[in-house]
Amino acid sequence: MQMFAGCAGSTFAPDAAPEYLVVRDKTPLYRYGPQQGGAPENWLRKDERVRMLRHEFGFSFVQSGDTQTGYVANEDLAIAPPLPRPVAVESSIEHGPVMPFPVVEDPPLPRPDLDQAPADAPASDR
């Protein structure tokens, strides 16, 4: 039995799947494939990022940003450029690191004298 490896396609783990951009507005997303015999379940917008979970001939299985999965025509996808890295913002403070506010503790409450009855206590308790 002879297998044709070129016809199989590539499968990727969701966390390691390559990102692609949708290059056409109103790109159909088919849940079960383009030959499911009906209208697409959803439409993708131009420049929306998707993860390619399985690359196949003609259509690929992708996951959109809202975790919806389905099949999209390969011609409607292009490799996405990497997202820009966050830029560290330098502090404009000239006098060193910012110190947290000083911790101010409440003064201790006076301890009651338990040997002395309050003035409004009945005379028999005194």
* CA distance to 39, 64, 72, 80, 122, per residue, from 42 (Å): 9, 11, 10, 21, 81
The pLDDT assigned to 1 comes to 38
Select the more confidently predicted residue: 38 or 49: 49
Q: Is the pLDDT of residue 2 over 50?
A: no
Where exactly are the structural domains of the chain? 5-79
Question: Looking at per-residue confidence, does 54 or 36 come out higher?
Answer: 54
- Look at residue 99 and tell me whether its pLDDT is greater than 70: no
Q: What's the whole-model pTM score?
A: 0.60
What distance, in Å, lies between the first and last C-alpha atoms of the chain? 106
Tokens at 119, concatenated = 């003035």
Q: Tell me, what's the pLDDT at 61?
A: 94
pLDDT: which is higher, 34 or 43: 43
Q: Is the pLDDT of residue 114 over 90?
A: no
5-79: CATH topology: SH3 type barrels. (2.30.30)
Residues 6+ apart with CB under 8 A from 64: 29, 42, 44, 48, 50, 70
Q: Does the pLDDT at position 74 exceed 90?
A: yes
| pLDDT for the residue 4 | 40
